[in-house]
Amino acid sequence: MIRLQGISKVYNRGKNNSFQALSGITAEVKDGEMIAVIGKSGAGKSTLLHILACIDSYDSGEYLLDGILIKKLSERKLAQIRNEKIGMVMQDFALVEDFTALENVMLPLDFAAKKKSNRKQLALNALQSVGMADYAKKPVNQMSGGQKQRVAIARAIVNEPSVILADEPTGALDSKTAAEIMEVLKALNRTGTTIIIVTHDKSIAQQCGRIIEIADGSLVSDS
Ligand SMILES: Nc1ncnc2c1ncn2[C@@H]1O[C@H](COP(=O)(O)OP(=O)(O)O)[C@@H](O)[C@H]1O
Ligand SMILES: [Mg+2]
């Protein structure tokens, strides 16, 4: 469960190039929701996603993730929360290109605080659930965009996060492949994973149960 109460974010605070990227964002996300975040380029969508992912800090307001106040935590604690609770999927996949699919998916397990003994099997299970088990040994740099995004989703889910945050996950894909990736995300949502997708694409947004619109750093609609 995510609770945002009056979240504001200023880049370059106190400098002459300071910029208010988010102003007073208040929203609640229940476990198991599938939400699209839409808005024009520069509206603050990625900033919001980075705050949700505990990658970026905020300046005022409160963010509670599963009851934990995400503020002034040590970098070590934040890394642990990210690793355990959050899976990230990016437009450009952000994979290690010369690693195999399996090696990429095992990476978050290597960073986990609680080391698991069956890491390879867990990674294979994640690849299986996105339809990529047969490609486990293939280097990512020999894959299509759609295959790479499936591997990136497998990497995002290997630690069984409660939330998947996806920033324009279909932005680099043709429409047929984008539809396939949306089916993978919807299937994960049906198993109970909360999914938040930043997108420019109306047809992607309409497949989500809820659409939040951001304009100039403010929440302008939530339906
Ligand atoms: N690291 C940064 N430093 C300064 N300004 C930034 C930084 N990141 C983003 N911004 C600015 O904040 C605004 C919102 O950016 P962003 O959240 O990336 O928008 P969106 O994802 O909706 O396109 C933009 O005007 C952008 O230029
Ligand atoms: Mg963005």
Mean pLDDT per 10-residue section of the chain, whose length is 223 residues: 97 94 97 97 96 94 94 89 94 95 94 79 95 97 96 96 96 93 96 96 93 97 93
Residue listed under structure tokens 């986990």: 112
Strand order in the sheet with 19-29: 19-29, 2-11, 60-65, 68-69
Domain membership flag for residue 95: yes
Domain membership flag for residue 153: yes
Domain membership flag for residue 53: no
Q: Check residue 72 and give its pLDDT.
A: 79
Q: Where are the alpha helices (DSSP H) in the chain?
A: 45-52, 75-85, 101-111, 119-129, 145-157, 175-190, 202-205
- The set of protein residues with a Cβ atom below 6 angstroms from ligand 1 is 11-12, 19, 21, 39, 41-47
Q: Which atom of ligand 1 is nearest to the CA of 19?
A: 5
The CATH number of the domain where 130 resides is what? 3.40.50.300
CA dist 206 to 32, 106, 112, 182, 201, Å? 17, 33, 35, 11, 9
Ligand at minimal distance from the CA of 90 is: 2
The whole-model pTM stands at 0.94
Domain membership flag for residue 169: yes
Q: Check residue 111 and give its pLDDT.
A: 77
The count of domains in the chain is 1
Domain membership flag for residue 55: no
Helices vs. strands in the chain: H and E counts, helices first: 7, 10
Q: How many residues does the chain have?
A: 223
Domain membership flag for residue 62: no
Q: Check residue 113 and give its pLDDT.
A: 67
Q: Which atom of ligand 1 is nearest to the CA of 39?
A: 22
CA dist 184 to 55, 72, 80, 128, 213, Å? 25, 35, 26, 11, 24
Q: Check residue 112 and give its pLDDT.
A: 74
Domain membership flag for residue 63: no
Domain limits for position 107: 31-42+75-222
CA dist 53 to 95, 133, 164, Å? 18, 27, 9
Nearest to 139 by CA among 94, 100, 105, 95: 100
- CA 41 to centroid of ligand 2, rounded, Å: 7
Residue listed under structure tokens 């642990």: 80
Beta bridge partners of 9: 22
Domain membership flag for residue 203: yes
Collect residues with CB below 5 Å from ion ligand 2: 46
CA–CA gap between residue 19 and residue 114 (Å, rounded): 39
